[in-house]
A and B are shown apart, each in its own frame.
Chain A
Amino acid sequence: SQQGEEDPQALSIQEGENATMNCSYKTSINNLQWYRQNSGRGLVHLILIRSNEREKHSGRLRVTLDTSKKSSSLLITASRAADTASYFCATVFTGNQFYFGTGTSLTVIP
């Protein structure tokens, strides 16, 4: 399968703590993207990192990409209750074909 795999499957933290989730994939990618999904709703794009980039920041989000290990991590700093959602990584291959992982369910406890 070309799908990414997120780890952990579920994560529960206190408000104000940092949350880290990881994504591993199997074949070379064009870029990797992270999305958030609130319960039963559509996905929202968070950040895109290209295969020739190693790190990107967007607000409280930090994404790293290690193409040698075929892995990426998403760090959410100073988490808030509103960050409670499922987070998915999407690996994008030549031809714009997207493969989503199984997701990490994040719960931020107020």
Chain B
Amino acid sequence: KAGVTQTPRYLIKTRGQQVTLSCSPISGHRSVSWYQQTPGQGLQFLFEYFSETQRNKGNFPGRFSGRQFSNSRSEMNVSTLELGDSALYLCASSFYGSGGLRGNEQFFGPGTRLTVL
């Protein structure tokens, strides 16, 4: 099975611009989560989508948004970029079962390195 893919891998933008990042999950996985990773804050949860619906959302401003398509591919968008948005953005997919005590491991993509100048 192909792993989680993210495009683009590297991106340079200037303040005020917007950016769209893409994530293709592992085939059969219906849950996609996004994380922001910075040296100072570590891994911060952005949001999770399941079957095209946002299931969970982290503590980020409304400039950060996402969506999921019927084929489970997901995009996240950041509008009005700020210098502090420079980070590694990681996407992870998982096969979401019935929940409860089962839990699910997440499979991560290589990330998109966003630099805001």
Interfacial residues, chain A to chain B (CB-CB below 8 A): 3, 30-31, 33, 35, 40-45, 48, 50-52, 88, 90, 92, 94-103
Contact = CB atoms under 8 A, between A and B. Distances in A.
Contacts of B56: 95-97
A88 B106 CA distance: 13
Q: Identify whether the interface residues of B are mostly helix, strand, loop, or mixed.
A: strand
Chain A to chain B: the 10 pairs with minimum beta-carbon distance, closest first: A42-B108, A31-B103, A100-B43, A102-B42, A45-B105, A43-B108, A42-B110, A97-B56, A42-B109, A92-B103
B99 A51 contact: no
A84 B90 CA distance: 21
Q: Chain B interface: which size bin?
A: 20 to 34
Nearest to B101: A50
22 contacts: A3-B42, A30-B101, A30-B103, A33-B103, A35-B108, A40-B113, A41-B110, A41-B111, A43-B90, A43-B92, A43-B106, A45-B106, A48-B105, A50-B101, A95-B55, A95-B56, A96-B48, A96-B103, A96-B104, A98-B106, A100-B45, A103-B43
Contacts of A101: 42
Nearest to B40: A102
Interface string B23-35: 0000000010101
